Structure 1
């Protein structure tokens, strides 16, 4: 580490370099610099101010902007860059220490003035709730969200058919365009396709067609964003559950939680293999596996910029609704990231089952689950829908 010592030109201080205290460690460069600055009698070397010296400009720099200390420090402090932090000068037979003045305060403009675009405004909706005869739904906006991106759809007694109903939760990302579009159109496309197919075995294919058609129509809108979906179609005593993304459906069967869907995330081996087979990649970003380092889900409606890997193809399962099938929970990942399947059933069940002393309250159960997720630190939108299944159960 090399050091340099600057001496004021007004009056050279006569002292031996051997007695010069330095705040840095001695090195060969320090010794050669000291020998260059002083002669054997302790006086400054004339070569130090010559044109051949590389320190000529440093030593000839005027001591401007300096102010004296009331008492000199015992040594010349040298910083790590090789420049002295203070200068020694003699005035009236006394040695004083000079220190640079503090630079003037910089006036930095306020951050809200530096606006590079129209700031995004909140839509004002913090909570949405709806209570029907056979279902209830509650949506709560995330604490750090400017707008609620989740949407839902509940369509019971379609065309007067008490055994035909459609329910869905739609978890939007990148805005509300996709979730809003899917909530308005997906159920209609599915029911329309189901009514045109007489064979009950083709219901799952009808649901698949509804998902693909909704995605195709949304892409034509040339709107950004995407949405995850979980839907439940009830027809003639059957429950057909589908999902694309990480929204989930959980059934309470005599108090036991039964997951009817599997989350579509890049961390799933089959999803990762599919993505990589089409030239994409999956990486872990801050503890979350993401597609192309961006999206945390691998299926959904929309996401045009990632459409090569984000497919709308749903996974569908069909079960027969028996008397032991008590209720169905459809919810976004805002709930499932903080609450387990069985825990959700255990909390909701006392509020969803008929008892001698009280009537069931599905809405209270939805709110309780959403509030639990928030208290556990969820910052995402939380949407919970609970569907009572006893009215759709088969008696045979």
Structure 2
């Protein structure tokens, strides 16, 4: 089954052919698991909620939030601590009590709202000048030269995953670009990244010698930053995670922002080439955000930037740009004789499928396209409700002799 492409391909560069762009069944909708529009759930202050709402006009009233700590207290001690706050909002309790410290609650983050579109309805993107049809849930597949892809819309109202592929870069069949995107807050960022990230990176590396890995990495980094800057200039507040692979002269230049992931199969063993930018596992990212004046809040077991976004790096997200940066982490790996394939996928796969398990599925299936579809089906059967995009890139044709 052919994959419906929702964006017309941009004009080809004179030295790039052909171009595959696939923002999959996308739509501008905000039902994303990474973004929560609710008020923060304030522990031990729930009983004061109604009183606060009735006194919003009183300038002497203050809202507070408890700094997250693993601590067990009875209601009596909690009430006692609430009384130890003066009118200025300063803590006046015993410093040696070991209690949680109260601070003024930061201003509420305003996250843009997006209109819901029912399944089966038409959505008109006036800015892009096109109308797209939202289809029923089904696995879409694409088979290209050296790559295979399967994708499925999750339980949300629209598909916000996408992908981009460039082959025959500068007329060289051994140079290519592959990427998968996972959008949030609408499809605009996914659409833009799918169409522009690869071109911006390829332009930057055109005149860079492959032996100079630092300059190649700098060109890739600049490609991400330029794509982010250009998208933000449009004034759209959605965002997108991305993982990309530039294949150039027998080397894999891997980059990512967010939680899309790249896995390399070498002799049947899974090697993780990216590091997810999730605050649950990245203490360094949490410290970076806090040192720049932001805060990280844990909600339902997930740490979020400003209590909103579960990833600390992405393209777009204008309302969080001070903390959610678009600078990618980059790694360069040589393609060796035992390098078999890459799996590039959104977190809709990795949240339910282990890295080695995914590699084993691809190795066992005779058809790589069927393997992609099976991975999508397995993730769905295990309870995944997010969009899923899986791309497998065969590496044997990219060996540099």
Q: TM-score, normalised by structure 2?
A: 0.66
Partner of 1:391: 397
Separation in structure 1 between the aligned mates of residue 318 and residue 351 of structure 2, nearest angstrom: 26
In the TM superposition, what whole-angstrom CA distance separates every residue of 1:175-205 from its partner, at most 9, and x where no partner exists? 0000110000000000010003236321111
- Tell whether 2:346 aligns with 1:332: yes
Give the C-alpha shift of residue 158 in structure 1: 2.2
Partner of 2:375: 369
Give the C-alpha shift of residue 361 in structure 1: 1.9
Given that 1:158 and 1:165 are in contact with CA atoms closer than 8 Å, whether structure 2 keeps it comes out as yes
Count residues in correspondence.
271
Partner of 1:155: 166
Separation in structure 2 between the aligned mates of residue 293 and residue 169 of structure 1, nearest angstrom: 26
Partner of 2:255: 242
1:117–1:323 distance in 2 versus 1, CA, 3 Å = closer
In the TM superposition, what whole-angstrom CA distance separates every residue of 1:99-150 from its partner, at most 9, and x where no partner exists? xxxxxxxxxxxxxxxxx996423342444321013110111000x2111000
SS for the counterpart of 2:304 is: strand
Determine which of 180, 186, 211 is the counterpart of 1:175: 186
Partner of 1:128: 140
Determine which of 158, 167, 188 is the counterpart of 2:199: 188
Separation in structure 2 between the aligned mates of residue 166 and residue 181 of structure 1, nearest angstrom: 16
Given that 2:210 and 2:248 are in contact with CA atoms closer than 8 Å, whether structure 1 keeps it comes out as no
In the TM superposition, what whole-angstrom CA distance separates every residue of 1:36-69 from its partner, at most 9, and x where no partner exists? xxxxxxxxxxxxxxxxxxxxxxxxxxxxxxxxxx
Displaced runs of 4 or more, over 3 A? 116-119
Separation in structure 2 between the aligned mates of residue 119 and residue 243 of structure 1, nearest angstrom: 29
Separation in structure 2 between the aligned mates of residue 185 and residue 394 of structure 1, nearest angstrom: 27
Give the C-alpha shift of residue 348 in structure 1: 1.2
- Tell whether 2:293 aligns with 1:279: yes
Separation in structure 1 between the aligned mates of residue 304 and residue 116 of structure 2, nearest angstrom: 27
1:199–1:260 distance in 2 versus 1, CA, 3 Å = closer
- Tell whether 2:278 aligns with 1:265: yes
1:364–1:211 distance in 2 versus 1, CA, 3 Å = same
Gaps of 5+ in 1: 1-115, 352-359
Partner of 1:289: 303
Partner of 2:358: 344
Separation in structure 1 between the aligned mates of residue 359 and residue 196 of structure 2, nearest angstrom: 30
Given that 2:295 and 2:305 are in contact with CA atoms closer than 8 Å, whether structure 1 keeps it comes out as yes
Q: TM-score, normalised by structure 1?
A: 0.66
Give the C-alpha shift of residue 160 in structure 1: 2.3
Task: Specify the structure having the higher radius of gyration (Cα).
Answer: 1
Given that 1:283 and 1:289 are in contact with CA atoms closer than 8 Å, whether structure 2 keeps it comes out as yes
Further displaced range: 172-181 or 153-162: 153-162
Determine which of 379, 385, 389 is the counterpart of 2:385: 379
Separation in structure 1 between the aligned mates of residue 219 and residue 395 of structure 2, nearest angstrom: 22
- Tell whether 2:337 aligns with 1:323: yes
Separation in structure 1 between the aligned mates of residue 210 and residue 361 of structure 2, nearest angstrom: 39
SS for the counterpart of 2:331 is: strand
- Tell whether 2:320 aligns with 1:314: no
Give the C-alpha shift of residue 226 in structure 1: 0.1
SS for the counterpart of 2:173 is: coil
Given that 1:323 and 1:394 are in contact with CA atoms closer than 8 Å, whether structure 2 keeps it comes out as no
The structure with higher relative contact order (CA 8 Å, sep 6+) is: 2
SS for the counterpart of 1:162 is: strand
Separation in structure 2 between the aligned mates of residue 333 and residue 384 of structure 1, nearest angstrom: 10
RMSD of equivalent CA atoms: 1.6
Further displaced range: 117-126 or 366-375: 117-126
Give the C-alpha shift of residue 347 in structure 1: 1.1
Separation in structure 1 between the aligned mates of residue 228 and residue 151 of structure 2, nearest angstrom: 24
Give the C-alpha shift of residue 380 in structure 1: 0.2
Determine which of 295, 306, 313 is the counterpart of 1:299: 313
Separation in structure 1 between the aligned mates of residue 292 and residue 114 of structure 2, nearest angstrom: 36
Separation in structure 1 between the aligned mates of residue 209 and residue 343 of structure 2, nearest angstrom: 29
